[in-house]
Structure formats: C-alpha cells, structure tokens
Amino acid sequence: MAEALDPALPPHIDELAQQVLAQACDGDMMLATAESCTGGLLASLLTDIPGMSHAFERGFVTYTNEAKHELLGVSMEILDNDGAVSERAARAMAEGAIAHSRADVAVSITGYAEHKEEGLAGLVHFGCAAKGGPTRHQMMRYGDIGRAEVRLRALEIALTMMRDAMTGAAEAA
C-alpha cells in the first residue's frame, strides 16, 4: 500500500502502481514521468511503495511551457502552435523524459484539471515512450468532475500506458 497517499488513493490505483513497479523490477526496467496537471502525483506514488520504488528513475514536473521546453526539450513551435495540452506536446514530453533520463519507459500527463473555458475542464493528453519503440498517445475528456478526480483518473491511464509499454518492450526483446 502506498504510505503517504493512503487513504486518499483508491485501492485499484494503488494495486495498478504496484503491478507496474513489479513489472519494471522483474524486467530490470527504469521508469520516468513528465507531469504537468498532476504536479508530480504519479512520481510521488511510484516512489511511495516500499521495496519496489528503486525502479523509478526520475520525474519531471513541468507545469509551465518554459519548464517543458527547458527540462524536456519540447519545442516552442509545438507549445506555441499546438499548445501545452495537445497530442504533440504529450508525445514530446514523454520522448523528452526518455532522452533526459536513464529510463526505459516514460509517461507524460498534460491537461486541464479545471478550466473556465467551456469544454476544456478535464481534457488530458498522455504520451508514453519506450526505448526502441513507438511513442503512444491517449486523450481523455473527463469533463468538469473536479481537480482531484481528474488527477486520480489521470494516474490510472498513465499507469496503464506504462504497463502496456513494458509488456510491448518485453515481447520485442
């Protein structure tokens, strides 16, 4: 059980995090995160599970466009033209996390946990990059369900993407 996030973390997300870390440990893989709207919540979760957190290599909390550009190498062209909450930004964030770490698999989360403009609240883009594999993307529209709920649901998608990327990497090896 994740210690610092208990009891706020739903049990199924804690179990999924344990599965991802166990899979990384079994495959001798390292993980990284590039987070915006979750503000490091996924990195915190992956470092909070005793006995397996050594599979987590590093996390990037890149809330601003400048941070995405400076820490992950996301091009200003993508940020200016597509926006920070876009498929291209999510893919570039995940690829940047791979490039700027020793991780084998990296996931990115960028979105609007809440927003004043109609239709943008709950829009989240995810990217998942694995060394030697394609970068995958997923978009979710959770709607205006509240900041905490968007962030919790984002954890579930990101962890699932990491699990699937590790399965693909193991099958390719």
Q: What is the CATH number of the domain that holds 127?
A: 3.90.950.20
Number of domains in the chain: 1
Whole-angstrom distance, CA of residue 128 vs CA of residue 29: 15
- 143 found inside a domain: yes
Residue 1 maps to a domain: no
- Report how far Cα 58 is from the mean position of its chain's Cα atoms: 12
Residues of the chain with confidence (pLDDT) below 70: 1-7, 169-173
pLDDT of residue 101: 97
Question: Residue 99: inside a domain, yes or no?
Answer: yes
Average model confidence (pLDDT) for the chain?
Answer: 92
CB atoms near residue 80 (< 10 Å): 10
Quick one: pLDDT at residue 167? 86
* Cα separation, 35 vs 100, whole angstroms: 14
Domain ranges, residue 158: 11-172
